[in-house]
Structure 1
Amino acid sequence: MVDGSDLPVAATQTSVRILETLIDLDGGGVTAVAEALGRSKSSVHNHLETLTGLGFVVKDDHEYRVSLRFLHIGSYARQQYPIYTAGIDEVVQLSTAANCSAGIVVLEADSVICLHHRLGPNTGTPRVGAGDQLPLHTAAGKAILAALPEARREDLLADHAFDAGTEQSYSSRAELDAELQTVTARGLAVDREEWYPDMRGIAAAVEAPDGSVRGAIYVLTDTESLSGKRFQQDLPGLVISSATQIQNTLRESEN
C-alpha cells in the first residue's frame, strides 16, 4: 500500500484503502474494516455503501467483499500487454516441461507485475498470482532490469532498499550491478533464495524487435527441485527457448 500523503483527493485514497483492506481481510464488516484502517465506522460505512452502489463491492448480510467487476477491469488491463496473449500458452508448456511453476511479468510504471502464473507440482510459498508485484531482486525483476536502458534502470534503483529480502539478497548497489552485468552477458537471470528461503528462480527477458523490453518469463520452485545440472543447464535452456518463442510470436503478430 502506497503512503498516499501527497495524493490530491483524500476520499479516493480512502476508498482504495478500504478495497485493499477487504482483500486483506477476505471480506469483512464495517467494524473490522474501520479498526484495520484506524478510521471512524461512519466514514467507512459511507465509503462501503458508495462502493456497493457503484458495483465495486458486494454486501452479504453485514459483511462486504470486492465484486467480480474487478475481474472485467483486470482482464482489460492485462490484455493491454501483447506479451500476455503471445506468452500464455508458452507459460503452460514451460511449466509442464520444467515440472515447476512458471509465469510472465511486465514492468508497469516502476513495478514488476505478474500477468500470468501457472502453479507447478512442488509449489510452496510464495504462491504468485496475476496482479502480484514481484521485487526487483527476483529473477524476473533482474531479467528486466538488465535489459532496460541505463537511465531507466537508474530511475528504478535510485531508492531501492538493499536491506529487504533474505540473507542471500544483495547488500549493496555494487553487488547488484555486478550481477546485472552477468545477466546481460548470459541473457538469463537467476534467483538463489534472494526472495524467499528455499526458493529459486530463473528468468529471461522478452524483447521487441527494436530492443525494448516487453517483459520476462520465469520459472520458480523450491531449491531442492532446482539444483545441480537442472539449475545450471537444463532449465536455463528451457527458459531461454520460451523467451525466444514469445519474441517470435510477437514479431509475427506485429508484421
Structure 2
Amino acid sequence: MDSSSGRRLQTTETSLAIIDAVNELGEARMSELADRLDLSTSTIHVHLKTLLDQEYLVKRGEQYRLGMKLFHLGEGARTRNEWYEVARRKTHELADSCGEEVTFAIEEYGRAITLFNVVANVPSKGFQVGRYYYLHNSAVGKAILAALPETRVNEILDRWGLPAETEYTVTDRETLLEDIARTEERGYSVNDQEAVEGLRSVGVPVTAPHGGVLGALDISGPLYRLPPNDELASMLQDVVDELESELGVQ
C-alpha cells in the first residue's frame, strides 16, 4: 500500500509530523518540536492547540504527549477487519501450543506492523502490538515480500532501503532477492539474528480471503531453544491452513 499522488495540504502534513515527532520523542516541549521540524514556535503553537482541542495530544506542564484517542482509533482500525477475530485466536493458539513468541503482522506502506504478539507463559502479552519494523530483516516481513509481486518488492526496497540492525542483517539487494526466492520456493522465511542478535524466527505468509497476501505469522525464540526451521514451518503452516480455511480462502 502506498500514498497516492496529487494535491496535499501542508497544514495537515505539519500536524501529522508533530504527532510523529511526539511519538518518537515520547514527550516534547514546543521549542523541541520547533527545532526538530524546523518551524517557528508560533506555527507549532497553532498546531499544538488544535491537536489538544481535538484530543490527539495531552499536555503535562510544558510537555506534550500522545493522547489515548490515538489508541482508540488504532484499536478501531485493527478490530474492524473481517479476519481480526480468526487471526487473533489462531495467534494465541499457536503460542500456547509451541511455547514461544508468536507474531501476526501485515504490510502497510512498505513496513510490517504487528497486530498480535503473544509470548507463551508470560502474563503481560502483546508488548509489541502496533510496532512498525522493516520487511527485509524480519521473518514476517520476508514471508510477506515473497508473496508480493516483484514490482511491489522493488518499490518497498527503493523507499525503505536495507538498513542494518545487526551484523547479520542482509544489506545487499541481490542477496535479499535470492533469500526471498528461496522463501517462496520452500514456503517459509527465516530470520537468523537479522533484527535482534541471539533471536531466530521462522515465518509463513497468510493469503487474504480475496487473494493476495493478508500478512504473515512467525515463531520467534532464542537460538539455543528453538527447534529446526522445518519443524517451526510445519507448525506454522498447519495453523495458517486452518486460518485461511476459516476465512474462506480458495
TM-score (structure 2 length as normaliser) = 0.83
Alpha-carbon RMSD across the aligned residues, in angstroms, is 2.7
The one-letter code of the counterpart of 1:58 is: V
| Corresponding residue to 1:231 among 225, 228, 232 | 228
Structure 1 position 197, deviation (Å): 1.8
> Matches of residues 111-122 of structure 1 in structure 2 within 5 Å?
111-120=111-120
Structure 1 position 59, deviation (Å): 2.3
Q: 1:133 to 1:84 in 2, by over 3 A?
A: farther
Q: 1:14 to 1:220 in 2, by over 3 A?
A: same
* Contact preservation (8 Å) 2:207, 2:213: yes
Q: Distance in 2 between matches of 1:182 and 1:61?
A: 54
* Contact preservation (8 Å) 2:101, 2:118: yes
* Contact preservation (8 Å) 2:136, 2:170: no
Structure 1 position 223, deviation (Å): 2.4
Per-residue CA distance 1:28-82 (angstroms, 9 max, x = gap): 3323333443433332222111111112112233332221211221122223443
Q: Distance in 1 between matches of 2:32 and 2:152?
A: 41
Indicate the residue corresponding to 2:50 in structure 1.
Answer: 50
SS at match of 1:242: helix
Indicate the residue corresponding to 2:136 in structure 1.
Answer: 136
Q: Distance in 2 between matches of 1:87 and 1:74?
A: 17
Structure 1 position 7, deviation (Å): 8.0
TM-score (structure 1 length as normaliser) = 0.81
Q: 1:73 to 1:131 in 2, by over 3 A?
A: farther
Q: Distance in 2 between matches of 1:159 and 1:19?
A: 22
> Matches of residues 1-255 of structure 1 in structure 2 within 5 Å?
8-120=8-120, 128-158=128-158, 161-162=161-162, 164-208=164-208, 211-226=211-226, 230-251=227-248
Q: Distance in 1 between matches of 2:58 and 2:176?
A: 45
Q: 1:41 to 1:224 in 2, by over 3 A?
A: farther
Identity among equivalent pairs (%): 25
Q: Which runs of 5+ in 2 are unaligned?
A: 1-5
The one-letter code of the counterpart of 1:183 is: T
* Contact preservation (8 Å) 2:27, 2:65: yes
* Contact preservation (8 Å) 1:209, 1:251: yes
Q: Distance in 2 between matches of 1:115 and 1:251?
A: 21
* Contact preservation (8 Å) 1:103, 1:218: yes
Indicate the residue corresponding to 1:3 in structure 2.
Answer: none
SS at match of 1:214: strand
Q: Distance in 2 between matches of 1:110 and 1:247?
A: 23
SS at match of 2:71: helix
SS at match of 1:225: coil
Larger mean CA deviation between 41-50 and 160-169 belongs to: 160-169
Structure 1 position 213, deviation (Å): 1.1
* Contact preservation (8 Å) 2:135, 2:142: no
Q: 1:9 to 1:140 in 2, by over 3 A?
A: same
Larger mean CA deviation between 102-111 and 137-146 belongs to: 102-111
* Contact preservation (8 Å) 2:203, 2:217: yes
Structure 1 position 139, deviation (Å): 1.0
Q: Which runs of 5+ in 1 are unaligned?
A: 1-5
Q: 1:177 to 1:63 in 2, by over 3 A?
A: closer
Structure 1 position 209, deviation (Å): 5.7
Q: 1:32 to 1:23 in 2, by over 3 A?
A: same
